[in-house]
Chains A and B, each alone.
Chain A
Amino acid sequence: SQQGEEDPQALSIQEGENATMNCSYKTSINNLQWYRQNSGRGLVHLILIRSNEREKHSGRLRVTLDTSKKSSSLLITASRAADTASYFCATDENQGGKLIFGQGTELSVKP
């Protein structure tokens, strides 16, 4: 069964604006990860946040995790055209230890 589900499915913004993407999941998790996928390329790991962490930063990226709501958000500040990509959250299932990916948010940043 699919674990992470991203919202919105597609997001279009202007350069310089902030982009927020959300991920919801169904079962308890140990960790949650965010990945970026540029068109025609493989996924690139952005951030891993553990279940006992609430917030994590990496450059212009900020990830929050709310385990009580089973949700996470990825904020990209001061977006650039180069941020145009699909963004995926991935969660681990406690039992199987498998990493389950959502279907992604397609972000388009217009110059």
Chain B
Amino acid sequence: DTAVSQTPKYLVTQMGNDKSIKCEQNLGHDTMYWYKQDSKKFLKIMFSYNNKELIINETVPNRFSPKSPDKAHLNLHINSLELGDSAVYFCASSQVPIQGQSPLHFGNGTRLTVT
């Protein structure tokens, strides 16, 4: 059983387009996250939601908008894609909202390539 699943796995698109990445977790966790991993494997948090409420919103361009329809789902919509948005995006979940107190469970990532 997949705990945290995200789709699509690969996303290739042109500059200026709008795209969405979907994420679902079946662990019963209240907290979900979006992370961005760059080409040097540096992983940085973008957003965190606890029970559908935004609790962490890092310095991310307004073109990125997360949406949590329920606590098991956290989607990421990106408007007006730019070359610099190319990266691997990971969804994750945890049992408690304070990071570091419990393990993060990651999806397998969405590799976004903007041409």
Contact = CB atoms under 8 A, between A and B. Distances in A.
A82 interface: no
Contacts of B92: 42-43
A90 interface: yes
Contact of B40 (A30, A37, A42, A103): A103
* Size bracket, chain B contacts: 20 to 34
A103 B41 contact: yes
A98 B57 CA distance: 11
Interface residues of A, number: 25
A45 B100 contact: no
Nearest to A31: B100
Interface string B5-19: 000000000000000
Interface in B90-113: 90, 92, 98-109
Contacts of B45: 98-99
B99 A42 contact: no
B43 A31 contact: no
Nearest to A90: B100
Contacts of A103: 40-42
A42 B103 contact: no
Instruction: List 6 tightest A-B contacts by C-beta distance, closest first.
Output: A92-B100, A42-B106, A45-B103, A99-B99, A101-B43, A31-B100
Interface of B: 4, 40-45, 56, 90, 92, 98-109
